[in-house]
A = this chain, B = another copy of it.
Amino acid sequence: MVKIGEIAKRLGVSTDTLRYYEKQGILASSGRSESGYRLYTEQDIAQLAFVIRAKDVGFTLNEIKELLAIKVDKQSHSCEQVKQFTSEKISQVERKITEMNAILNSLKLLHKSCCGGDEPAIHCSILSALEVQNDAS
């Protein structure tokens, strides 16, 4: 059971952010000390790591809440529903990865088509590289 400052420091977020996440139902502390300090477990830290990773790749807090709801709501839902829901989320993430790869390809094409010399970049075909890739979406 660690205090808020510790977990904040370990995962590189502010204590304000952690209190905000609690208010938003993203991550509550597992308990409080005698004096009312928030106390977090290692599991809480693991969950926060998940939240941060999801946020980093562009999920909103609401989407993250949905992802976490799979865990929270398991008492009130059937396995069938859980399976259905995770299926949807999986295709959503797969779509994002596909788009990400399209962007990566744009950049790689661009990188390849540039000679890398020290002359001004006017002559290199970067512009067309970007557009060709865009057309082929």
Contacts and interface: CB of A to CB of B under 8 A. Distances in A.
Contacts of A101: 97
B50 A106 contact: yes
In the assembly, how many copies of this chain are there?
Answer: 2
A107 B79 contact: no
Q: Is the interface of A mostly helix, strand, loop or mixed?
A: helix
Measured as residues with beta carbon below 8 angstroms from the partner, the interface class of chain A is: 35 or more
Contact of A75 (B56, B114, B121): B121
Contact of A100 (B75, B93, B119): B93
Contact of A53 (B46, B103, B108, B135): B103
A95 to B, nearest CB: 9
Contacts of A49: 134, 137
